[in-house]
Amino acid sequence: MTAMDIKKETPVRTVLITGIEPFDGETINPSWEAARRLDGQDVAGARVIARQLPCVIGKVVGVLRQAIEEVQPDLVICLGQAGGRSDVSVERVAINVVDARIPDNEGKQPIDVPVVEGGPAAYFSTLPIKAIVRDLRTGGVPASVSLTAGTYNCNTIFYGLAHFIATERPTLRGGFVHVPYLPEMAARHPGAPSLSLDLLVQGVKIMVATSLAVTRDIKEGGGALH
């Protein structure tokens, strides 16, 4: 067998990147704009496939699971909009509660209900979150570790993914990352910070490369006092 034959037989890794449809009166969602920009691209030697998730709390986990079954990825990075945040927020923990501040895109507003009935109180991300933050900052992308993914659709996605990994797909790695408004969105929200789409896309590429390369996260300060 030649070296070329071995190279041909080496399976190409696949990364599923998800973004969310616009919600709360917005016409675009930065998470989806970034994800779809990378659809079909080769990043760090892996093929990226993008899928859009709905802002519908009762359906979003099912749509995500279906995407995972179709794509069969080695890695899943779910992105979501966090208007008002000033940097890329790599989420550390998902909690088993939905407490919707606003209705979702089907007009539903569940309050104080579990994401998964009988599931654990919380799950940690299986992404190398601190290494991702380090590499994003090195690459010129503002970033931090976040200790709350909220209690809306984004946390539902994160918890649903983590529960699926823990109970059905233990070899899969995945997590959730919140991103700020795009500049054109921030223009409609005076005082709100933003990141350009080009910088956000570059940040997602860094997330993918780091997540594929780092299997054991670094030990580096990233906590919060309050």
- The residues assigned a catalytic role are 91, 154, 178
- The 10 Å Cβ neighbour count of residue 7 is 8
- In whole angstroms, what is the distance from residue 97 CA to residue 78 CA? 18
**Tokens 């093929």, located at residue:** 47
| Cβ(176)–Cβ(91) below 8 Å | yes
| Cβ(88)–Cβ(141) below 8 Å | yes
- In whole angstroms, what is the distance from residue 74 CA to residue 12 CA? 10
Q: To the nearest 10°, the Cα dihedral for 125, 180, 64, 10?
A: -70
User: In sequence order, what E strands does the chain have?
Assistant: 14-20, 42-43, 46-53, 75-81, 88-91, 93-95, 98-99, 111-113, 122-124, 143-146, 173-179
CA dihedral for 126, 127, 133, 135, sign (positive or negative): positive
What does each C-alpha distance from 46 to 9, 39, 94, 202 come to in angstroms?
Answer: 15, 12, 26, 15
| Cβ(165)–Cβ(126) below 8 Å | yes
